[in-house]
Structure 1
Amino acid sequence: MTLFDRLKAASADDWTAYVEHDFVRQLGEGTLPVPAFRTYLVQDYLFLIHFARAYALGIFKGRHLADMRSALASVNAILGEMDLHVGFCAEWGISEAELERTPEERANTAYTRFVIDAGLRGDLLDLHVALAPCVIGYAEIARRLAATAKGADPANPYARWIAEYSGEAYAAVAEAAIAKLDSLGDELLTEKRFTAVSDLFAQASRLEADFWQMGLDAAG
């Protein structure tokens, strides 16, 4: 069992509420209101900026050169993804100027600052546990949706999002994150510490669910 599997099992209710949220269900069925998805896209842009900052903490917190290089690669990957995200938003009628001028929603601020705080106060294990629900969870969600008829239907307006996160490239990102958790766990985790680490994971999962709910609330 991977550390990620152990964390999911210890936070089963919170994890299920996140990965099976109504936002996710409607995304897979193609029934998600467009305003909900557009709100999500804009806030996700702001979210990615803070996630790049969170991964940058991995350079500072790195105990080994390999850790620092890994964190730098993640920062570069996220910053590179920003251009793709801007292009995807443009397809939904959202300009880069709109992305830049839109304020953060409270759910976004709560989640991103939680992750950054976890990294500032803790070590690399704390940081990567706080990041895991997003990084790994998206792959799990999209893979499940892609296996459904409606999720894979090209007529689903959200099929591209599902395909992106269920594809081989993102699967490799998620697998690397799982492996990184195991590596850090082998080095830094004790059974006594597991409760505190699993609490971090559970809170991050709840904040992910709140992020989905933010989109639904915007649609009324």
Structure 2
Amino acid sequence: MGFSQEIITDIDNIWQANLKHPFVQEIGAGTLPVQKFKYYMIQDYVYLIDYAKIFALGVLKSTDLQTMTQFANILQSTLTEEMSLHRQYAAQFNISEETLTSAEPAPTTLAYTNYLLSVAQTGGQAELLAALLPCMWGYEAIGKSLAHSPGAKHALYGEWIAMYSSSDFSALTEWLIQEFDKITAQQTNMQRTNLTNIFKNALRYEVLFWEMAYQEEKWLV
């Protein structure tokens, strides 16, 4: 068992909370109110702009050409496929690209991206991967869990589920997991504890992100 699976086993309660959040379950049922999904699209677009920067930092912190190339490939996938899907959805609701790019981050979005960027910039490659994994791995797990749900045939949500349950997305996620397990194989217990905490915090933010979208979170002042 790789260290990544050890972490998932250790924090299974948070992992399950991510998979079973009402926002996710209602996408699968095809019953999520469209307004909530529109809110999510805009905030996720804002999130992805900063998330992509972490892959760029992955290129910078890589020590071999193969790893640099793979991080660059995931960066390209994020900037094109994922963000293109968001723009396509937005167009269906007459949300302009200008609206997406100028949207103000909600409190949770801002806190989450700031945390990820802080870890990625101050840590090494292991810390960067621990921060990245909960998002990609969580979305892959959600995509697979919803692949045969009613939502997979929903006119709006079906394409979203299809992307995150795709073999291409799984391949990128699996590479991140393998890279993380390879790097952490020889680390000390103290180092592993730190990485577990980073992973746990990022996964907590994933749950908070669903909740933020479900509640359509606003700044109080």
Q: Give the Å deviation of 1:69.
A: 2.6
Q: Give the Å deviation of 1:47.
A: 1.0
**2:106 and 2:217 in contact (8 A); partners too:** no
**2:56 and 2:72 in contact (8 A); partners too:** yes
Report what 2:58 is aligned to: 58
Mean Cα displacement is larger for which, 10-19 or 110-119?
Answer: 10-19
**1:115 and 1:131 in contact (8 A); partners too:** yes
Q: How does 1:128-167 map to 2 (within 5 A)?
A: 128-148=129-149, 150-152=150-152, 154-155=153-154, 157-167=156-166
Report what 2:101 is aligned to: 100
Instruction: Measure the CA separation in 2 of the matches of 1:29 and 1:159.
Output: 11
**1:14 and 1:206 in contact (8 A); partners too:** yes
Mean Cα displacement is larger for which, 165-174 or 63-72?
Answer: 63-72
Instruction: Measure the CA separation in 2 of the matches of 1:155 and 1:128.
Output: 33
**2:116 and 2:131 in contact (8 A); partners too:** yes
SS in 2 for 1:31: coil
Structure 1: unaligned runs, 5 residues or longer: none
Letter in 1 for 2:185: D
Deviation string for 1:137-174 (max 9, x for gaps)? 101011111233x233x246412211111122212122
Letter in 2 for 1:57: L
Give the number of aligned pairs.
Answer: 217
Q: How does 1:6-25 map to 2 (within 5 A)?
A: 6-25=6-25
Q: Give the Å deviation of 1:55.
A: 1.2
**2:131 and 2:199 in contact (8 A); partners too:** yes
Report what 2:42 is aligned to: 42
Q: How does 1:1-220 map to 2 (within 5 A)?
A: 1-81=1-81, 82-148=83-149, 150-152=150-152, 154-155=153-154, 157-186=156-185, 189-218=187-216
**1:30 and 1:156 in contact (8 A); partners too:** no
**2:39 and 2:216 in contact (8 A); partners too:** yes
Letter in 1 for 2:143: A
Q: Give the Å deviation of 1:3.
A: 2.5
**1:36 and 1:219 in contact (8 A); partners too:** no
Query: TM-score, normalised to structure 2's length?
Result: 0.90
Computed over aligned residues only, the root mean square deviation of the Cα atoms, in angstroms, reads 1.9
- Structure 1 ranges of 4+ moved more than 6 A: none
Instruction: Measure the CA separation in 2 of the matches of 1:75 and 1:165.
Output: 16
Structure 2: unaligned runs, 5 residues or longer: none
Q: Give the Å deviation of 1:219.
A: 8.3
Identity %: 33
SS in 2 for 1:80: helix
Query: TM-score, normalised to structure 1's length?
Result: 0.90
